[in-house]
Structure 1
């Protein structure tokens, strides 16, 4: 009976975390560059139940003792592009291609940006991010291209981080700021000639985005850059920089609402189970024990 209490309590904690995740997604439906988070739940290890009779052991079956919210996974699907008309707003439109090592053909990813090949290997769609740098010199990655320029000409992200160029250096504008023009590959154009000036936005391609860690405020970092396979974008990458646009949130409002209600109902069901066990224990102590 006590095991049932623990199982129901574990279910309540898991559903609370699912509910919190869905609430976070709903709260960021209008946040620029926000990527939806999905909560992944797993069961506790199964317990094998056996019965011994006459010196022999008979397997009765397996019992699961609860569930827990193991992790939260970010979905890096492309969000809608929203025109702002501001010269320091940028959005990335990407469709990075990957070939299956076994067949040599381009991989068709599912709706979550994942592909499982014939050998069971999971491959994630590579993603592109603007590269920014914090005060400690750590590289961070964001899809929020709402930038500003300070008095020194430094380009800053909405969180106050320094935006990097393709050489990994902080991007500093020397030309008149009102004339800033950027082409589809992220090259800053010379206002006099309209040709690339030699400076380019630092756009990082992350081959294994599942290695990224969410920091909040729309930025991510990689604990191991080599494991994430991070590099700067080149001309062969199928991506485009859109000046005067911002990428909206990729939250699926309908699905998140369903998840929110499902978590609430499951929490309520586990709560009823605990109430039932509490009543049963009360009867055991007050009535059965009296006999």
Structure 2
């Protein structure tokens, strides 16, 4: 009874984590560039308790089932980020940029650390230390970086903002005026499992893994970049799948909760024996 209660309570804890994850996915249904996390379960270590000691060798050799009871200690949940491409929605806003190829990320500066995002909802904000310049930033105010790791800044007189499919930004001061070009800093994750969630739709990579986990798309590699100006990538959350998983996890939680209750009732009966 104690074993059954321990097994059920351990599994309930993991099921609660799954329901929390599903809730997080559904809450970010409308978050641009959000990548859903899928969950799966595997059995924890099992122990076999020997209860049968066959005296007859012939019977022992012909036995089809193990001579004992196999008891586990519950299930463990694992999470995996899904990098499938989300649908692309037109906004008509020039500062909205959607990456249309999976595993590619914008580079942004977060308090001096380079982090990565798929959210292309950008703004033009005053550059730090120079009121006459503007810089390209995320909606949270983090500077967007170019291919050399520098913030993208330009004078306020440049108003026209264009981005081509390979991530080259062209800003100009008007018809026939001077123009400037910047290459957006884009990386491709060749080892996506190395990405660490930092919240606010941002990811980081351990410095020891950065060189092998990411490829900075520069030079000829920029031909692999694919993006659209005036569009945003929607989240890749599958609502029907999330709701189905939620119902299944709730029923599993209910079943394990019932197992704990039954174990408690059986212990109560034993304790009441005179």
C-alpha distance in structure 1 between counterparts of 2:43 and 2:229, whole Å: 46
Is it true that 1:74 corresponds to 2:81 in the alignment?
A: yes
What residue number does 1:183 align with? 164
Partner residue of 2:73 out of 61, 65, 81? 65
Residues paired across the two proteins, number: 255
C-alpha distance in structure 2 between counterparts of 1:166 and 1:138, whole Å: 15
- SS of corresponding position for 1:277: helix
C-alpha distance in structure 2 between counterparts of 1:195 and 1:11, whole Å: 64
C-alpha distance in structure 2 between counterparts of 1:14 and 1:145, whole Å: 34
- SS of corresponding position for 1:79: coil
What residue number does 1:114 align with? none
Report if the CA contact (8 A) 2:11-2:74 is conserved. Answer: yes
Partner residue of 1:209 out of 185, 192, 211? 192
Partner residue of 1:161 out of 139, 142, 146? 142
- SS of corresponding position for 2:35: coil
What residue number does 2:63 align with? none
**Residue 72 of structure 1, CA deviation:** 2.0
C-alpha distance in structure 2 between counterparts of 1:227 and 1:164, whole Å: 20
C-alpha distance in structure 2 between counterparts of 1:198 and 1:148, whole Å: 17
> Which protein has the larger Cα radius of gyration, Structure 1 or Structure 2?
2
What residue number does 1:133 align with? 109
Report if the CA contact (8 A) 1:211-1:227 is conserved. Answer: no
Report if the CA contact (8 A) 1:187-1:196 is conserved. Answer: no
**Residue 229 of structure 1, CA deviation:** 3.2
**Residue 63 of structure 1, CA deviation:** 3.1
Q: What are the Cα deviations for residues 144-198 of structure 1, in whole angstroms up to 9, with x where unaligned?
A: 0001111221211122211100111111123645301111111122536799944
Q: What are the Cα deviations for residues 92-142 of structure 1, in whole angstroms up to 9, with x where unaligned?
A: 1116xxxxxxxxxxxxxxxxxxxxxxxxxxxxxxx100100111x211110
Name whichever of 3-12 and 237-246 sits farther off.
237-246
**Residue 11 of structure 1, CA deviation:** 1.3
The TM-score normalised by the length of structure 2 is: 0.85
C-alpha distance in structure 2 between counterparts of 1:277 and 1:243, whole Å: 60
Q: What are the Cα deviations for residues 172-226 of structure 1, in whole angstroms up to 9, with x where unaligned?
A: 1236453011111111225367999442011111111111011111111112213
Shift in alpha-carbon separation, 1:177–1:10, aligned structure 2, 3 A? farther
Consecutive unaligned residues of structure 2, counting only runs of 5 or more, are 61-65, 128-133
C-alpha distance in structure 1 between counterparts of 2:176 and 2:41, whole Å: 56
Consecutive unaligned residues of structure 1, counting only runs of 5 or more, are 96-126
Shift in alpha-carbon separation, 1:39–1:31, aligned structure 2, 3 A? same
Coordinate RMSD, CA, aligned: 2.5
Q: What are the Cα deviations for residues 53-110 of structure 1, in whole angstroms up to 9, with x where unaligned?
A: 48999853543221122x3211111111111111111111116xxxxxxxxxxxxxxx
